[in-house]
Amino acid sequence: MKAPVKVIDLETWNRRDHYRWYRAYASPHLALTAEVEFTGLVRGCKAAGRSLFADVMHALATAANEVAPLRQRIRVVDGAEQIVEHPVVHPGFTVGLSGERFGFAMTPLVAERAAFSAAVREVSAVAQAHDGLTPFDGQRDDLLYFSCLPWVRFTHVEHSLRGGDDCTPRIAWGRLAERAGRWTAPVNVLGHHALVDGAHLGRFFQRLEALAAG
């Protein structure tokens, strides 16, 4: 049975002032990019014969789920706002299509990497066969949005957003490169500042570094 969402009481919430402050901003999002070492993850992935794309996304999604504000969402219904916290949020990600296009796919986050990798491969094949764009927006808010840019080691990513109510975190990673036996890649994460602060993004990167170490 799916666990229910937690509804946050805005009147007793310890960050209600921060929430109200940033809700008034026209551009209320916060993003951070850092270089992350993936040496242990790369070695384990190659030894097991799994998809590196899926293993990296699994580490990113697991780290994000361990930071509660990245599981929180703003819901606006008939002008009334509600803050909910999901027990778990799942990866929604881009899949390459012909003609330099992309489609969307999603799969539940599970703890076992091999099962997750197999699920990513399956839903990616479905998205490629569909050969079109089916957005997630407006359908569900228990997702994280992932993009991989394997062509470049970026220093920043500017994400497309629908406006101040768009609170789904975006996570992107760039080209993995090896130097002196160490594998690293840039990682960018964006959250809504009414829910997420720098300390939360810092904790995300700390957990990611620990997961990517092995």
Instruction: Tokens for 184, please give them.
Output: 């690293």
**What pLDDT score was predicted for residue 171?**
98
Provide the mean pLDDT of the chain: 94
pLDDT at 36 over 60: yes
The region of weakest confidence among 64-68, 95-99, 185-189 is: 95-99
Q: pLDDT confidence of 134, banded at 50, 70, 90?
A: confident
Cβ atoms of 8 and 84 closer than 8 Å: yes
What is the pLDDT at residue 80? 87
Q: Using the CB atoms, write b or e for 50-62: b if 16+ within 10 Å.
A: bbbbbbbbbbbbb
pLDDT at 67 exceeding the cut of 90:
yes
User: What integer pLDDT is reported at residue 214 of this predicted model?
Assistant: 62
- Assign domain 6-212 to a CATH class: alpha beta
Indicate the pLDDT class of residue 187, thresholds 50, 70 and 90.
very high
Q: Are 178 and 153 in contact (CB under 8 A)?
A: no
CA distance linking residue 53 with residue 173, whole number of Å: 10
User: Contact at 8 Å (CB) between 171 and 145?
Assistant: yes
pLDDT band with cut points at 50, 70 and 90 for residue 174: very high
pLDDT at 138: 64
Segment 108-120 mean pLDDT: 97
- Percent of the chain exceeding pLDDT 70 equals 98
Confidence of residue 79 (pLDDT cuts 50, 70, 90): confident
Residue 180 zone, left/alpha/beta (φ > 0; ψ -120 to 50; rest): left
* Residue 177 confidence (pLDDT) above 60: yes
In angstroms, the CA 41 to CA 46 distance is: 9
In the predicted structure, residue 98 carries a pLDDT above the cut 60: yes
Helix (H) or strand (E) holding 93: strand 90-97
